[in-house]
């Protein structure tokens, strides 16, 4: 149950999502970590292949340049004419050579050769080995060839030179592809290029491999102290007897890249876990804490409490919800206070006489059992003074009900003024009042009644220039709280009522005790 509750909570979901994200990321990174070996090796192979393709493109560009150069030479009319003079008239080749240097000397070639139709070298700048290789391949058509060079290859463009539709001889232009050309391939990624012939490295871009034995059987091989990942660049136009172009990258470079990649992966894993955990915790804290506070708040409201909720200035949705909740709780509290006030007023009006502010007869019924219980606990008795205003009907009849009400108010004010703290004051009829008190002191009660009578008799009611004399008749009774028969309200009021009628009969404006009660002689005289 607790698990289900956790899974259904947002906190639980956030934790699950964060954990799942962390696991996915970690899993993919671990996969990368474990498979990086093959990836790096694959990338290395691709990289070497790209470098090889680039070299092919450069070689192609050289071939095209050479082809353009020989086309320009063979189509030059003056050169054709000079070639004719040299080959057919037998003049010296120097003017032709001068013409070549003057007009075509700017061509970007390493070697140039001019041959007669019979294959005799007319002039040129080239090594003897190149001349010997070129001679057998002088053909009637234009051609591009790779030839052997001491440290690599020679790209050779050959074209016949014609004059009046007959071949006069041949022009041969070449570009040397050797150590210098290879040096461009020792790039930042560590790829090296080298030429191999007869299982020996003829030349290499850095010169380090030159002269080393080379016998490749797999994609990896060892030369000297180092092992290499190698790639053969297959130049389709080269014969197998010519130097072969190879590319290599040191395995230490590969391993170094591998380790670098792995270090980066591990760092990424660590950083990702830390970041996800931190963000997860922040998410949980930022989302669930205010939600939990709201849940506690609603629970308190359900329990009938209305706690104070502080507003917040944070600009987010949960803060807005919390503020709405605070407003709602404040509104509820205000409403509750209003209800309490109304309730208190209602309660007060239910037990209080509106005119005099004294308790009414209903409250007497409610409070009397409590007074009895209290008196029992304190081992005391309950004293009652029943008071009736003398000739009150006459006041009403002569001066009106308002004046009567004023008389009642006057009396109740005097009663409140003279009463003691533990006295309960009631208006139980039109001009009938009751004072209940928990006491054993009958003398004290009698003195209070007498003092009240005397005070009322001496302070007439003043109303609209009228002075209306007022007197009261009081009957005092006492109930023993431990005697259930005597301690009923009816018994107590009956006895007090009898004592009050006795006071009426004695001429009013006096205090009488219920039968069986007695006071000190001094009080009796009063």
Partner 1 sequence: MALWKTRSIQFLCLLLLGLNNPVWAAKSDPIKLPEGDEIIGAGAHFSWIIFNQLKPELEKISGRKISLYGKNSMLGQGCNAGIKTAKLSNDKRDTFGFVCCTLSDEEVKKKNIQVHPLALEPVMILVNKSNPIKNLSKQQVRDIFKGKIKNWKDVGGKDQAIVVVTRLHCKKRPGHWKRILPDAKHFRAERINVKSADEMSQRVSDFDGAIGHIGSTWIFEAGDKTRAISVDHKKPTATNLKNKSYPFYRKLSAVTNPNPAPDVLKIIREAQTGKGFRKMAKRFELLPLVE
Tokens describing residue 31: 């996969």
Question: Beta strand pairing status for 472-480 and 511-513?
Answer: parallel
Q: What is the dihedral angle through the alpha carbons of 497, 501, 504, 510, rounded to the nearest 10 degrees?
A: -50
Does residue 95 bind partner 1 (CB under 8 A)? yes
Q: How far apart are CA 479 and CA 384, in angstroms?
A: 8
Distance CA 306, CA 303 (A): 9
Question: Which residue, 86 or 474, is less far from partner 1 as judged by CB?
Answer: 86
92 or 338: CB nearest partner 1 = 92
Q: How far is the CB of 85 from partner 1 (least distance, A)?
A: 5
Closest of 45, 86, 416, 93 to residue 218, by C-alpha: 45
Q: Is 34 in the site for partner 1 (CB under 8 A)?
A: no
- Stretch 109-138: interaction string toward partner 1, x if CB under 8 A: ------------------------------
> Which of 4, 164 has the CB closer to partner 1?
164
Binding to partner 1 by residue 61, rule CB under 8 A?
Answer: no
Tokens in use for 522? 């001094």
CB of residue 172 to partner 1, shortest distance in Å: 19
Whether the CB-CB separation of 188 and 211 falls below 8 Å is answered with no
Among 48, 55, 79, 82, binds partner 1 (CB under 8 A): 82
Size of residue set near partner 1 by CB under 8 A: 16
Q: What DSSP character marks residue 507? A: T
Task: Name which position in 21, 25, 85, 318 contacts partner 1 (CB under 8 A).
Answer: 85
Q: Which of 7, 39, 50, 68 contacts partner 1 by CB under 8 A?
A: 68
Q: Residue 175's closest CA among 136, 146, 150?
A: 146
d(Cα 52, Cα 244) in Å, to the nearest integer?
Answer: 12
**28, 53, 91, 215: residue in contact with partner 1 (rule CB under 8 A):** 91
Q: Which two tokens stand for residue 295?
A: 């849940």
Q: Cα-flanking dihedrals φ and ψ of residue 194, to 5°?
A: -155, 155
Site for partner 1 (CB under 8 A): which residue of 26, 88, 227, 272?
Answer: 88
For partner 1, give the closer residue by CB, 74 or 410. Answer: 74
Segment holding 154, helix H or strand E: strand 152-163
Interface pick for partner 1 out of 92, 239, 347, 505 (rule CB under 8 A): 92
State the nearest-atom distance from the C-beta of 99 to partner 1, in Å: 7
Is residue 238 part of the contact set for partner 1 (CB under 8 A)? no
- Helix or strand run (H / E) with residue 513: strand 511-513
Rounded to the nearest whole angstrom, what is the least distance from the CB of residue 100 to partner 1 in the complex?
A: 12
The residues that touch partner 1, with contacts defined as CB under 8 A, are 68, 72, 81-82, 84-85, 88-92, 94-95, 98-99, 106
């Amino acid at each position: 149950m607790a698990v289900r509750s956790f899974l259904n909570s947002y906190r639980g979901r956030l934790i699950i999502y964060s954990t799942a994200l962390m696991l996915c990321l970690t899993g993919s990174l671990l996969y990368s970590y474990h498979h990086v070996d093959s990836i790096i090796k694959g990338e290395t192979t691709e990289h070497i292949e790209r470098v090889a393709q680039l070299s092919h493109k450069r070689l192609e560009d050289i071939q095209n340049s050479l082809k353009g150069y020989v086309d320009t030479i063979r189509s030059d009319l003056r050169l054709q004419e000079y070639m004719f003079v040299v080959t057919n008239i037998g003049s010296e080749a120097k003017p032709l050579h001068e013409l070549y240097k003057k007009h075509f000397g700017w061509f970007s070639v390493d070697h140039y050769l001019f041959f007669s139709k019979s294959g005799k070298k007319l002039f040129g700048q080239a090594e003897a080995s190149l001349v010997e290789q070129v001679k057998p391949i002088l053909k009637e058509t234009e051609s591009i060839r790779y030839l052997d060079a001491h440290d690599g290859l020679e790209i050779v463009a050959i074209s016949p030179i014609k004059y009046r539709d007959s071949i006069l001889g041949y022009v041969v232009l070449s570009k040397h592809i050797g150590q210098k050309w290879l040096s461009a391939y020792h790039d930042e990624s560590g790829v090296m290029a080298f030429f191999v012939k007869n299982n020996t490295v003829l030349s290499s871009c850095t010169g380090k491999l030159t002269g080393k034995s080379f016998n490749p059987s797999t994609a990896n091989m060892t030369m000297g102290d180092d092992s290499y990942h190698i790639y053969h660049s297959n130049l389709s136009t080269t014969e197998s007897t010519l130097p072969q172009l190879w590319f290599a990258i040191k395995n230490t470079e590969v391993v170094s890249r591998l380790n670098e990649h792995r270090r980066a992966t591990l760092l990424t894993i660590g950083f990702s876990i830390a970041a996800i955990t931190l963000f997860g915790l922040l998410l949980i804290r930022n989302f669930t804490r205010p939600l939990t506070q709201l849940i506690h708040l609603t629970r308190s409201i359900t329990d009938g409490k209305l706690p104070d909720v502080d507003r917040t200035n944070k600009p987010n949705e949960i803060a807005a919800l919390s503020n709405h909740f605070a407003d709602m709780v404040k509104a509820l509290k205000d409403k509750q206070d209003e209800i309490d006030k109304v309730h208190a007023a209602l309660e007060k009006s239910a037990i209080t006489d509106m005119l005099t502010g004294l308790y009414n007869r209903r409250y007497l019924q409610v409070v009397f059992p409590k007074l009895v219980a209290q008196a029992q606990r304190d081992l005391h008795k309950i004293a009652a003074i029943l008071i009736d205003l003398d000739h009150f009907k006459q006041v009403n009849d002569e001066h009106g009900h308002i004046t009567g009400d004023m008389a009642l108010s006057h009396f109740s004010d005097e009663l409140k003024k003279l009463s003691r703290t533990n006295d309960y004051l009631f208006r139980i009829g039109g001009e009938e009042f009751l004072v209940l008190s928990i006491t054993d002191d009958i003398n004290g009660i009698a003195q209070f009644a007498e003092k009240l009578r005397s005070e009322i008799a001496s302070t007439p009611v003043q109303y609209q220039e009228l002075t209306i004399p007022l007197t009261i008749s009081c009957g005092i009774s006492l109930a023993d709280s431990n005697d259930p028969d005597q301690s009923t309200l009816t018994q107590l009021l009956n006895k007090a009522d009898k004592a009050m009628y006795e006071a009426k009969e004695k001429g009013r404006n006096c205090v009488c005790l219920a039968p069986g009660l007695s006071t000190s002689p001094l009080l009796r005289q009063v």
